[in-house]
């Protein structure tokens, strides 16, 4: 018994020494300087312990890098965007409930809201004494620096931009800020692995094998055009990497810019083989039924062939990379069912959400919640 106690005591001393040594090494590396995605020089005097994020996109990266326990506040929609849910102020009502209840140590419901789509509560942010603020654009960064004074890092990067200067750069900058370079590299490699898995098939296709696709990135909730939001079925993305990687020919790709409204006549002239309508409205088929039965679109090939389908909504107060990566895999299976018949969408979806949110079976919950993904998966059996 004494011998075992002596061994345990020695192991404990080694563990304590290792932790102290690690803390010493970490402290010795400060202050440290790096540049954010805008080329701004950022200096941190000490390791980050308290984080505030401007939007769900930044919060998602923080969680993915294992620093969710340090998140002390975020934008209002973070509560419903990370684990897709609909909530009341007191509880989660529907959606990925298990994910919501477990993520960031079960603190999501009570996570302070320091901004909304339109407003930023600077006094509330200052009272929370953040060590660092992560945001998505230069305008916000300058305002935070002026009013709060702590280091502010611009991550930016659209979640569907699969380039080294796009979303991958955002991950690596966050990794530098959080002393999580290794985790950042692993996350980038994970995402690139999923992309390469699809590209290994679609890169070998001829242009004739890739169908023409119109991507309604904002859905069709209010028919062709929603004057209040300035968007709906006629809004699309000229550059959407998930669709291109999946082996689709984006009919809007020759348009300059991003997130554009196009005329209905232009969509008809493009005559797409597929129409993909993003949808996050659980169990609601109104948009799909409207487009399928629209007399204005009756001449379009996609309508004639019955190739009008939902896809995952690429936005949620930002451009969530997990859902856009999921779109890539789903679109590949939908556009090329023979070439991707053995690709398990549910397995892939759960792996993707696990990588970003650290929770199991999130896609399974998500598919059941939205209904249409579960119907699609059932149709493959």
Question: pLDDT for 18-74, tens place per residue?
Answer: 555 555 555 568 999 999 999 999 999 999 999 999 999 999 999 999 999 999 999
Which domain CATH number covers 226?
3.40.50.1980
Domain check: are 148 and 222 in the same one?
no
Please write the tens of the pLDDT for every residue from 87-106: 766 777 789 999 999 999 99
Residues pairing with 86 in the sheet: 94
- pLDDT higher at 147 or 227: 147
DSSP output for 333-377: HHH-TTTTTT--HHHHHHHHHHHHH--TTHHHHHHHHHSHHHHHH
Q: 364 lies in a domain?
A: yes
Q: Is residue 125 domain-shared with residue 232, that is, in the same domain?
A: no
Specify if 298 maps to a domain: yes
In a domain, 14, yes or no: no
Shared-domain flag, residues 164 and 294: no
Of 179, 203, 237, the one marking the end of a domain is 179
Is 26 inside a domain boundary?
Answer: no
pTM: 0.91
Q: Both 112 and 230 in a single domain?
A: no
How crowded is residue 338: how many other Cβ atoms within 10 Å of its Cβ?
5
240 and 148 share a domain? no
Is it the case that residue 216 has pLDDT exceeding 60? yes
pLDDT 10s digits, 133-154: 999 999 999 999 999 999 999 9
Whether residue 20 is contained in a domain is answered as: no
Report the candidate in 315, 345, 282 with the shortest Cα–Cα distance to residue 57. 315
Distance CA 162, CA 241 (A): 6
Domain boundary among 155, 179, 203: 179
Q: Look up the domain containing 124 and give its range.
A: 34-179
Q: Are residues 373 and 232 in the same domain?
A: yes
pLDDT tens by residue, 253-270: 999 988 999 999 999 999
- What lies within 8 Å, CB to CB, of 115 at 6+ separation is 54, 55, 74, 75, 76, 121
12: in domain = no
Q: Are residues 203 and 171 in the same domain?
A: no
One domain, residues 216 and 297 = yes
Are residues 211 and 360 located together in one domain of the fold?
Answer: yes
User: Total structural domains in the chain?
Assistant: 2
92 lies in the same domain as 210: no
- Domain end point (choices 125, 158, 179): 179
- Is the bond leading into 31 cis (omega within 30 degrees of zero)? yes
Asked if residue 4 has pLDDT above 60, the reply is no
Same domain, 216 and 142: no
Q: Are 43 and 31 in contact (CB under 8 A)?
A: yes
Residue 1: inside a domain, yes or no?
no
**Same domain, yes or no: 229 and 281:** yes
> Residue 23 falls within a domain, yes or no?
no
């Amino acid at each position: 018994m004494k011998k075992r106690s002596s061994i345990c005591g020695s192991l404990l001393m080694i563990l304590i020494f290792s932790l102290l040594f690690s803390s010493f090494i970490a402290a010795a590396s400060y202050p440290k300087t790096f540049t954010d995605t805008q080329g701004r020089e950022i200096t941190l005097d000490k390791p980050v312990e308290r984080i505030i994020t401007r939007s769900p996109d930044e919060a998602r990266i923080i969680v993915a890098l294992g620093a969710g326990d340090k998140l002390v506040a975020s934008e209002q929609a973070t509560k419903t965007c990370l684990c897709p849910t609909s909530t009341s102020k007191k509880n989660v009502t529907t959606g990925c409930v298990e994910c919501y209840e477990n993520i960031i140590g079960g603190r999501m419901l009570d996570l302070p809201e320091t901004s909304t789509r339109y407003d930023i509560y600077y006094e509330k942010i200052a009272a929370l004494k953040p060590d660092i603020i992560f945001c998505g654009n230069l305008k916000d960064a300058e305002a935070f620096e002026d009013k709060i004074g702590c280091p502010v890092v611009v991550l930016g990067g659209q979640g569907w931009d699969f380039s080294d200067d796009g979303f991958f750069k955002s991950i690596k900058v966050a990794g530098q800020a959080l002393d999580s370079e290794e985790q950042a590299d692993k996350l980038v490699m994970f995402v690139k692995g999923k992309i390469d898995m699809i590209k290994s098939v679609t890169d070998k296709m001829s242009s004739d094998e890739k169908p023409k696709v119109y991507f309604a990135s904002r859905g069709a909730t209010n028919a062709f055009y929603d004057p209040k939001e300035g968007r709906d079925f006629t809004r699309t993305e000229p550059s959407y990497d998930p669709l291109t990687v999946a082996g689709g020919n984006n009919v809007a790709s020759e348009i300059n810019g991003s997130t554009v409204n196009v005329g209905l006549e232009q969509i008809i002239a493009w005559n797409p083989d597929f129409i993909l309508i993003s949808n996050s409205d659980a169990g609601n088929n109104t948009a799909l039924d409207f487009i399928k039965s629209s007399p204005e679109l009756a001449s379009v090939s996609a309508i004639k062939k019955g190739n009008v389908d939902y896809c995952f909504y690429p936005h949620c107060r930002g451009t969530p990379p997990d859902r856009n990566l999921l779109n890539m895999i789903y679109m590949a299976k939908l556009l090329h069912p023979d070439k991707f018949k053995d690709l398990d969408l549910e397995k892939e979806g759960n792996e993707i959400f696990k990588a970003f949110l650290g929770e199991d079976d999130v896609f399974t919950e998500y598919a059941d919640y939205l209904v249409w993904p579960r119907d699609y998966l059932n149709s493959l059996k």
